[in-house]
Amino acid sequence: MALNRGCNVVAFVCSAVLVVGVGSGCADHYPRPVRREVVVGLGEFADDSLKSVTVIFRHGDRAPLLEDKTYPNMSMNDFPEGIGQLTKIGKLHMYQKGKLFRRLYHGFISDLYRDREISIKTTNISRTFMSAQMVLTGMYESEYYHKQMDLESVWQPIPISIDSPDRTAICANKCPYYKEFIDKELYDPILKNINSENKNQMDELLSHLSKNYGQPIKVEQIFLLYDSFISKVSKGLQLPEWIKPNYYQVMESVYIQILRRIYGNKKLQKLISGPLLKEISLNMELRSNNSNYNTTRNMYLYAGHDMSLGTIMFFLGNNRIKLPEFGASIHFHLYQDKTMKYIIKVFYYHKWDDEKYEEMPIPICGNPCKLEDFIQLINENFSTEWEKECEKLEI
Ligand SMILES: *[C@@H]1O[C@H](CO)[C@@H](O)[C@H](O)[C@H]1NC(C)=O
Ligand SMILES: *[C@@H]1O[C@H](CO)[C@@H](O)[C@H](O)[C@H]1NC(C)=O
Ligand SMILES: *[C@@H]1O[C@H](CO)[C@@H](O)[C@H](O)[C@H]1NC(C)=O
Ligand SMILES: *[C@@H]1O[C@H](CO)[C@@H](O)[C@H](O)[C@H]1NC(C)=O
Ligand SMILES: *[C@@H]1O[C@H](CO)[C@@H](O)[C@H](O)[C@H]1NC(C)=O
């Protein structure tokens, strides 16, 4: 934290060290110089009134969740990393996301990893774990580690714990309510909507897909198919020529409707993000208590999923977000204002390469959102007994 508060300079230093770089900003005479970005001033958010930061980010670009044999036409050859895994471009994007975090929080977080400043948790899934690794590599340059340790190293070792209270991954397998909702409740309103508005268009799409995939395709399958298109597009791959723009749009609209119904479901919000929101609220509460200040951390990072971000945003009352793209992030900031009161602000980045945040209102809490109101809200809405809740909830 001992940093030169006041100057706000970002220096670009040329270096022959291989860094996954962004463009070239250095001298023209060097062959393919790599721009090395060293943040030396205060981060955009590193303000004295900022007391605690929690960031939940979605993993980077991933491979489709489909197996080859589901749709023989859907080749996984383009995704050597395997089903649902972080792709090469996804890794790079998360590295760049880490650089953004450094630019935002430099000064609030030291160059050298310090255990008492930051905690990193991920869901127990390869793509989120690896995203957390890449984010931290981007956030913590190795040279500070060199200086302090007098060691050659390409990265600073930083612990990542797999005990994130984010239940996205567990809930899908364990909570009966989740399965029942998906099986019995999810599609009816969407189908109704289709039948009343654009049945012909949908019939045409389904028969077109069935013909080209060589098997009957129902509306329920559109989700995974469209999801695989997103993976392909993110890798710069061509979609099949027979996926015309109008078909693509209908599929996208179904995809978004499905996700919004999940994000907006109060019970799923509880099951998926309840324990995480409780931990966030507790960490801020502890931080605000002066006697705990030195034993709590400045920053908590959580690597999660679109469901984590979607259910949290909808819970807060922000249902105007479309869907959290790869590398999207929610930032909870705890501020102490001039009257020494604690207030919470939420900032949102829609995608890994968003440079500009959007400050999100917190309708459920009010404006300003006082810490005490937030704590009360979380305590009233979420029980501590997740396992029981997950078992007993009925449709
Ligand atoms: C994490 O995931 C692995 C592989 O799926 C599993 O074997 C392991 O038990 C999980 N660990 C925890 C703590 O859930
Ligand atoms: C997909 O596979 C089916 C059945 O093998 C075939 O008839 C169809 O032409 C294929 N479509 C494409 C776009 O490859
Ligand atoms: C805050 O500190 C006081 C005094 O040490 C203690 O009584 C109280 O339980 C603490 N609250 C929290 C949330 O830690
Ligand atoms: C917290 O740490 C700072 C710096 O080391 C110290 O000045 C302060 O007294 C500590 N506060 C408490 C409550 O222990
Ligand atoms: C959450 O808490 C608020 C405020 O106490 C309450 O109005 C609302 O009904 C609660 N929502 C749920 C789903 O329990």
Which among 37, 144, 158 has a CA at the least distance from the CA of 100? 37
Q: Is residue 330 classed as helix, strand or coil in its secondary structure?
A: strand
CA-closest residue to ligand 1 atom 9:
124
Alpha-carbon Rg of the chain, whole angstroms? Answer: 23
Q: Are 220 and 184 in contact (CB under 8 A)?
A: no
Helix (H) / strand (E) element for 336: namely strand 329-336
**Tell me: the pLDDT tens digits for 189-248?**
888 888 777 888 899 999 999 998 888 999 989 999 999 999 999 999 988 888 999 999
Which among 90, 69, 55 has a CA at the least distance from the CA of 230? 90
Instruction: Give pLDDT, residue 297.
Output: 96
Please give the number of the atom of ligand 4 that sits closest to the Cα of 290. Answer: 13
| Alpha-carbon distances, residue 214 vs 14, 71, 220, 229, 237 (angstroms) | 54, 8, 17, 18, 22
Give the mean pLDDT of 143-169. Answer: 89
280 C-beta neighbours (distance < 10 Å), count: 24
CA-closest residue to ligand 4 atom 3:
294
Give the mean pLDDT of 145-153. Answer: 82
Q: Which of 8-12, 241-245, 369-373 has the lowest mean pLDDT?
A: 8-12
76 C-beta neighbours (distance < 10 Å), count: 16
Cα 124 to ligand 1 centroid, rounded to whole Å: 6
pLDDT classification of 106: cutoffs 50, 70, 90: very high
State pTM to two decimals: 0.86
**Tell me: the pLDDT tens digits for 261-318?**
999 999 999 999 999 999 999 999 999 998 788 889 999 999 999 999 999 999 999 9
Give the mean pLDDT of 149-157. Answer: 84
Instruction: Give pLDDT, residue 394.
Output: 64
Cα 308 to Cα 55: distance, rounded to the nearest angstrom: 12
Q: Is residue 349 classed as helix, strand or coil in its secondary structure?
A: strand
Residue 154, pLDDT > 90, answer no
Query: Of 272, 375, 381, 393, which is best to mutate to test ligand 5, by the most ligand atoms within 8 angstroms of its C-beta?
Result: 381
Residue 326, pLDDT > 60, answer yes
CA-closest residue to ligand 3 atom 1:
289
**Antiparallel, parallel or unpaired: β 358-360 and 369-370:** unpaired
pLDDT classification of 384: cutoffs 50, 70, 90: confident
**Antiparallel, parallel or unpaired: β 299-304 and 358-360:** unpaired
Instruction: Give pLDDT, residue 116.
Output: 94
CA-closest residue to ligand 4 atom 13:
291
Q: Is residue 360 classed as helix, strand or coil in its secondary structure?
A: strand
DSSP annotation string for 197-229: H-HHHHHHHHHHHHHHHTS---GGGHHHHHHHH
Report residue 285 as tokens.
Answer: 């509460």
The length of the chain in residues reads 395
| Alpha-carbon distances, residue 234 vs 126, 211, 223, 353, 373 (angstroms) | 19, 26, 17, 13, 40
Cα 155 to Cα 152: distance, rounded to the nearest angstrom: 9
Highest mean pLDDT among 177-186, 209-218, 268-277, 377-386: 268-277
* Residues contacting 46, CB < 8 A, separation 6+: 104, 105, 106, 107, 108
Instruction: Give pLDDT, residue 395.
Output: 55
CA-closest residue to ligand 2 atom 6:
214
Residue 383, pLDDT > 60, answer yes
Residue 9, pLDDT > 60, answer no
Q: For ligand 3, is residue 281 a contact (CB within 6 Å)?
A: no
Q: For ligand 3, is residue 61 a contact (CB within 6 Å)?
A: no
**Tell me: the pLDDT tens digits for 22-51?**
333 333 333 343 445 666 789 999 999 999
